[in-house]
Structure 1
Amino acid sequence: MTAGRAYGFLTVARPRPAALARALGAVFAIGEGAVETGPEGEPDGWRWDTPVQCGYEWFGPGDIACALHVYAGPAVPDPPSEETVARALARELGTAVLTGAGTPPWIMRVLTPAGGSTYARTEDLDGEDRPGLRVTAVQAGVAALPHVPVRGLPEVVRALPLAPRDTGPRLWPWADLVCRMEAGWPPLRWYGADMYREDLRARDGLRDLEGDPRLEALDARFRAVTVDDGGGELGADPASAPWYRRRRPAVLPWRVLLPADPEAADWLWKWVEDGAEGKPGGVDLSSLDLSGADVSGADFSSSLFCGTGLRGARLTGTEFHRSHLQGAELAHADATGARFVRADLDGAVLRGTVLDGADLTRADLHGADARGASLRGTRLLGATLLDTDLRGADLTGAELGENTFGVTLDDTTTVTGLKGTLTGPATLIPAPGGAPAPLTGPALEHWLNSRGAAVRVTASLRAGAPSP
């Protein structure tokens, strides 16, 4: 008979005890009747003879609702790994589950209901009656934690040293960087540019070892996994910088923060490895779940994102020129300053998406759901806005230019400073209980301009006139 095994988990949402028993009964293959659940520290009525026992502890302030203390007794053969149990709980309970990630203790692994995983940085909170825990950053966006910023987590990387143990202390940082590049940037396929600069400073301190065979061997390996860009990536002066500062990694590990979904992460990383930015034909990332990824500033010109999940993704300054995003899910994504010139966003979900300062010139948004989207200062010149839902959207300072404007509006649509020319008709959704009403010509112009816009509604575009 095997010894018992203890597990510890945190959940973002409160699980129902019955659902918890079912999930544990399934993952331990013993049935829910062989699982006892109850509040931690309240032994009255507890069935101590059950093979699996789970005490739960409710948390107070912060992002974590509950701690689970699970014990699989000796009667459970071959108890599964902690990750296996955590994944099963996330899937069956429908909430993100956190578990220990080793050192440092404030870094935790996050398993999502959809099967994804990432890491989180946490901090304790003082609660009056119950403990509290706040999640201060995640390596990839998590739907259950929409307010938590997405940040690279150097602690996770530094906790996995790769240089050989017998490497001398002076050579160790340089050797660790070389080994990490050769291994493909484990464990996150991410490495901060500031971390790389720190390693270059460590190399600066080795100049007195020039000619040492150990350093020469490391330098040769460094050259093999880097390319000479004249210092452009990191801003080195090619006239004065040493040779290693004029080189950058062949695969840039700070280009993106990968999503939690493993399949999508693999495809996006392949794009990074291929260095495909700006290449004719772009990349096909259709139907993948890139939710929570950070691809700010990337060039996805002429790429395919049909049906792609980009919910909560960070797309600031990202290039989508002539890309296809039909049916893409961009709800609550941050696309500030992104370029969607001539992009196809038909049927896209843009609910709560931030598109401030973005360029959607001649983009197609037929049937797009942009309720609650922020389009402050957005260029919509010549964009096709047919059956586009703009209820609750903020178009402050947005710019139109002879747009087809068959949109849905309501009294929460903000149009202060909206300018340009457009055609109707639009549909106005009144207060609850009222019937939708069409707005055409002068009526549409009056409705918009009485709310701070400065637009002119034309009867129609001139036949054969080119779009701007």
Structure 2
Amino acid sequence: MNGTAYGFLTAAAPGPDALTRALAEAFAVPQARVDVAPDGTVDGRNWDTALVTCEYEVLRAGDLRGMVQVYATPAVTAPPAPEEVAAALARESGTSVLVEWGTVPWVRKVFLPQGWTTYAAIEDLDIAQDQPWFRVYATQTGLAAFPEAEVEGLPATVHGVPAHTPLADALGEHRDLLHPWEALISRMAAGWPPARWYGADLYRADLEARDRLEAALPTLPDAVRTALTTLDARFHELTIDDAGEELGADPSVTPWYRHRRPAVLPWRVLLPADPEAADWLWKWVEEGAEGKPGGVDLSSLDLSGADLSGADLSSSLLCAVDLTRTRLHGTDFHRSNLQSADLTGADATGACFVRADLDGAVLRGTTLDGADLTRADLYGADARGATLRGACLLGATLIDTDLRGADLTGARLGETSFRVTLDDTTRVTGLTGTLTGPTTLTTPAGTPHPLTGPALEHWLRTRGSNARVVPPRHHRQAGDP
């Protein structure tokens, strides 16, 4: 009788103590019966009494720094699934753990220390001859462990979950013709497993498969026609007619199914890893499909790593929400409350923050290039290292706002309250318009130095800005409504 072998990759270098604890927990054996050692170690091993053995290797470079091989002896009568072991390893080691998933070798399921999961695409670059060198080039949720990875939907994860296609499976030689259409309908009915995502390009490919089926229909047997009638009726139930607007189909020259789209658009967002936040966000997506007006309350949720590009979050409550590393291209936050929200490292290029409340928000390293912050409030915001290239700040309130290291190249002001903190790394080339001070310039030694009126204008102009300092109409103070 053979034992059970497991293999894992880890974001950080594995430690023997954490490995021992995790394996003892996962396999329900005493820690004394777990033998953990660096790969290649022979001396001092507990071969005779160990129920679970583990060899690990610390990788010198790449996005993944650990390889872990585990073996459960035949004496372990109910070995856990690899996912259970990965979850225990992530929790005990405090790092992301990747395990093989599905049939595509480059896709891995990622277990996070918080108990959450997502998916990643990896490649072995084969740079080092004596050690693997892995690169994580895409993740379905933005992860701090892999900051260089693209955040995108991974089609391979969709195909890694077999679709239920009983009608197509019963058609013998005609199965492949009907299968894509039934698979689409099956996935739609199941809520788009495994991550409630389905790309618009995948949907278009399914419509093309339906086109081929339509073209072949006159030559097909009655069994195929009957199955197709059933599937078309189910497709009609699960979709809505938008006159082809979502996917750009002209109703006058395209068949009926191309005028319909899923009632809940599965390509609207990429959900965060936090399951509670994902559920709330998906509920909002569903409500949008039902045409319910108004904003949404996502306050205090962890939406980090999600992709909300183009989403309409206007008039929403997002107080203290975690939007770190979130993709917010063109997202609409008009009149939304983002007090104390954390947007560290988020990409909000072209986003709308008109009249948004960003008081106390953390915008460190946030990309706000081309964003519209007209009349936005940023009282006490920490925008160190943020980029606001070409941003619109007309009438915005920046009081006690930290702009050290920020880039305001080409930004536009208009009687903007600009009582901010700057330093010599703050870039203002091409900054135009009018502002009210005073500002505080922090010297390299950390000493604050006030800049007012002509002195502030001189500082700006010596750095490529022609913005003018004007008298304030009203100074907003802490506690003002």
TM-score normalised to structure 1 length? 0.94
Asked if the contact 1:112–1:142 (Cα under 8 Å) also holds between the matched residues in 2, the reply is: no
Q: Distance in 2 between matches of 1:446 and 1:391?
A: 18
Partner in structure 2 of residue 340 of structure 1: 353
Match of 1:449 among 461, 471, 479: 461
Q: 2:251 aligns with which of 238, 248, 258?
A: 238
Cα deviation, residue 58, structure 1? 2.5
1:209 alignment partner in structure 2: 217
Supply the distance in 1 between the matched residues of 2:54 and 2:363 (Cα, whole angstroms): 41
CA contact (8 A) 1:276 1:283 kept: no
2:380–2:399 Cα contact (<8 Å) kept: yes
Shift of 1:6: 2.6
Q: What displacement does 1:462 show?
A: 6.6
Contact conserved, 2:9 with 2:68, CA < 8 A, in 1?
yes
What residue number does 2:73 align with? 73
Helix, strand or coil: the match of 2:467?
A: strand
Q: How many angstroms apart in 1 are the aligned matches of 2:363 and 2:273?
A: 21
- 1:247 is matched with 260
Q: Deviations over 1:42-65 (max 9, x none)?
A: 212222123332110233442111
**Structure 1 residues 443 and 172 mapped into 2: Cα distance closer, same or farther (>3 Å)?**
same
More helix by share: 2
Matches within 5 A, 1:389-428: 389-428=402-441
Question: Offset of 1:241 from its aligned partner?
Answer: 0.8
Letter in 2 for 1:282: G
* CA distances 1:339-384 after superposition (whole Å, capped 9, x unpaired): 0001111111111110000001111111111111010000011111
Q: How does 1:42-61 map to 2 (within 5 A)?
A: 42-48=41-47, 49-61=49-61
* Cα distance per residue 1:18-58 (max 9 Å; x no partner): 33323333444445444322111221222212333211023
Q: Is the 8 A contact 2:14 2:58 kept in 1?
A: no
Q: What code does the residue aligned with 1:384 have? A: T
Contact kept, 8 Å, 2:18 with 2:89, in 1: the verdict is: no
Could you say if the C-alpha distance between residues 234 and 36 of structure 1 is closer, same or farther in structure 2, counting changes exceeding 3 Å?
Answer: same
User: Counterpart of 1:148?
Assistant: 149
Residue pair 1:294, 1:315 contacting (<8 A) in 2 also: yes
Task: Name the structure 1 match of 2:479.
Answer: none
8 Å Cα contact 1:293/1:314 also seen in 2: yes
In structure 2, what is the equivalent of residue 8 of structure 1?
A: 7
| CA positional deviation for 1:75 | 5.0
Amino acid at match of 1:189: R
- Assess if the C-alpha contact under 8 Å between 1:51 and 1:73 holds in 2: yes
Residues 2-401 of structure 1 correspond to what in structure 2 (within 5 A)? 4-48=3-47, 49-74=49-74, 76=76, 78-126=78-126, 127-162=128-163, 163-164=165-166, 165-167=169-171, 168-207=175-214, 208-209=216-217, 212-275=225-288, 279-401=292-414
What's the offset of the Cα at 1:292? 0.8
Q: Secondary structure at the match of 1:342?
A: coil
What amino acid is aligned across from residue 120 of structure 2 in structure 1? A
> In 2, are the aligned partners of 1:339 and 1:359 still within 8 Å (CA)?
yes
Between the aligned partners of 2:289 and 2:430, the Cα distance in structure 1 is: 39
Deviates most, 87-96 or 368-377: 87-96
Amino acid at match of 1:158: H
* Counterpart Cα distance in 1 of 2:24 and 2:451: 59
Contact 2:387–2:408 (CA under 8 A) maintained in structure 1: yes
Change over 3 Å in CA distance of 1:75–1:169 after alignment to 2: closer
2:122 maps to amino acid: T
- How far 1:83 sits from its partner (Å)? 1.7
What is the RMSD computed on CA atoms of the aligned residues?
2.0
Residue-by-residue CA offset, 1:404-440 (whole Å, 9 max, x unaligned): 11111111111111111111121111113x4211112
Higher mean displacement: 372-381 or 71-80: 71-80
Superposed CA deviations along residues 230-277 of structure 1, whole A, max 9, x for unmatched, are: 111000111111111111111111111111111111111111122269
The change in CA–CA distance for 1:77 and 1:410 in structure 2 (over 3 A counts) is farther
Question: Quick one: which amino acid aligns to residue 153 of structure 1?
Answer: L
C-alpha distance in structure 2 between counterparts of 1:294 and 1:450, whole Å: 39
Alpha carbons 2:330, 2:349 under 8 Å: kept: yes
Q: How many Å apart are 1:74 and its aligned residue?
A: 4.6
Q: Distance in 1 between matches of 2:372 and 2:452?
A: 26
The answer to whether the 8 A contact 1:60-1:131 is kept is no
CA separation in 2, counterparts of 1:379 and 1:199?
42
Contact 1:277-1:300 at 8 Å conserved across structures: no
Q: Percent identity?
A: 64
1: CA distance between counterparts of 2:307 and 2:396?
26
CA distance in structure 2 between the partners assigned to 1:82 and 1:189 by the alignment? 23
Kept in 1: contact 2:264–2:289 (CA 8 A)? no
In the alignment, the residues of structure 2 paired with residue 448 and residue 115 of structure 1 have an alpha-carbon distance, to the nearest angstrom, of: 49
The CA deviation at 1:192 is 0.9
CA distance in 1, matches of 2:393, 2:232: 51
How far apart are the structure 1 equivalents of 2:355 and 2:193? 37
TM-score after normalising by structure 2:
0.91
Aligned residues: 462
SS in 2 for 1:234: coil
Structure 2 CA distance, aligned partners of 1:318 and 1:105? Answer: 34
- Worse-matched range after superposition: 208-217 or 335-344: 208-217
